Amino acid sequence: MEKMMSNNFLMVDAHLDLATNAMTLNRDLTMPVETIRQRELALALDDFQDRGKGTVALPELREGNVALVFATIISRVDQRGGSIATMSLPGWFSPAQAYANGQAQLAWYQAMEQMGEMIQINSVEGLNQHLQRWQQAPDSKLPVGYILALEGADSIVDLDYLHKYYEQGLRSIGLSHYGPGRYAAGTHSNGEGLTALGKALLKEMNQTDMLLDLTHLTDDGFYQALDVFQGQVLASHQNCRSLVPGERQFNDDQIRKIIERGGVIGGALDTWMLHPGFRMNQDNPKDLGIDLEKLIDHFDHICQIAGNSHHIGFGSDLDGLFGLEQTPYDMNTIADIQKFPSLLAARGYSENDITNVCSKNWLRLLTTTWGNQ
């Protein structure tokens, strides 16, 4: 199942915030990207920087032959007090509120399922059936498969709620997001790691077939998590610190640890993760020459560390509350992910390597994780 739909490569994207875009930004993702852009421009919306510049919707996922995505629920708890409206890192004032908000996001995914727009994937059997359907009916309006993922675990009220979420299909958890968290410190919280709750949660996750997403953990939290968690790991949207400095990226030792655990690292397409010193809301990606090739630099680096192409894939984060203003200039929508195979081939990647990057590495990780169900 290497190629489909007019020789396009099958694609897996390990990080999209679809429900956040649908519910927080009030985007109808069943409509084409250009329709969404024009609606926002006509309404003169300016509450988020990417209004009128979004790049992701379900029609473009199909156009790009993106058969499967890791789709997030993001719901933070703000433990510092104060007004939500004025917080730079907004969140809910109780875990129960965060859980309820997460359930609203899940309800959107379920509504998409009822409409035939998406289908939840949470087992090897379901994965194989979904891929077979895409292979057999490449020109129809196929549902986009999604693996339910938590970006930040704050909405897990207690360990019982881990199992509630599992019953709802949750299969991947990132403990942290930005700033302090109930289970672990996140990006911009250097010097902090897992909390006692975080260690207890990982021990409970050891009893399941859930994936641990290491993205957004601090350096301390990263190593602590690997010590406690015994299952399969990934980094859903993560690039290389040696190419673009900053604690949000992984250093070479962290990359090696993921490789040793058989994990996969999803390359992110946010321009500040592709170009040193990129200034959000100031710099223009084209002026700085930030194109899709920049992500291949990160892929190359990881492949050199691994000695093979088995540990890289896409985790685009293209709808992570940014749009064209922070996207490589040669990408208009997520459908342009199909530009990567030819770019990879020009860099010397074989067809098997390209298939690994586009889908096979993620599919192998999932079948390995779920193989004993």
pLDDT at 36: 98
Q: What are the phi and psi torsion angles at 211 (to 5°)?
A: -90, 145
345-370 per-residue burial string, b: 16 or more CB within 10 A, e: under 16:
eeeebeeebbbbbbbbbbbebbeebb
Instruction: Report which residue type is found at 88.
Output: S
**What span, in angstroms and rounded, lies between the C-alpha atoms of 78 and 281?**
26
pLDDT at 7: 57
Instruction: Report which residue type is found at 296.
Output: I
Q: 168: buried, middle or exposed (CB in 10 Å: 19+, 13-18, 0-12)? A: middle
Q: Please list the rounded mean pLDDT of every run of 10 residues in the chain (373 residues).
A: 56 98 97 98 96 98 97 90 47 96 98 98 97 83 97 98 98 95 91 94 98 97 98 98 96 98 98 96 96 98 98 98 97 98 98 98 98 69
Which residue range(s) make up the domain with 286? 3-370
Instruction: Report which residue type is found at 275.
Output: H
Tokens standing for residue 16: 């999209």
**What span, in angstroms and rounded, lies between the C-alpha atoms of 317 and 101?**
21
Q: What are the phi and psi torsion angles at 285 (to 5°)?
A: -55, -40
The total domain count for the chain is 1
> Which CATH number goes with the domain that contains 161?
3.20.20.140
> Which residues are within 8 A (CB) of 221 and not within 5 positions of it... i.e. 6 or more apart?
175, 176, 184, 185, 192, 193, 194, 198
Tokens standing for residue 194: 């897992």
Q: Angle at Cα 94 formed by Cα 90 and Cα 97, nearest 5°?
A: 85
Three-state SS at 104: helix
**What span, in angstroms and rounded, lies between the C-alpha atoms of 292 and 296?**
7
Nearest to 267 by CA among 329, 317, 207, 303: 317
Place of tokens 């933070």: 76
Tokens standing for residue 116: 């035939």
**What span, in angstroms and rounded, lies between the C-alpha atoms of 303 and 85?**
43
> Which residues are within 8 A (CB) of 39 and not within 5 positions of it... i.e. 6 or more apart?
none
Task: Answer whether 263's CB lies under 8 Å from 233's CB.
Answer: yes
Give the torsion sign (CA, 61, 63, 66, 68).
Answer: positive
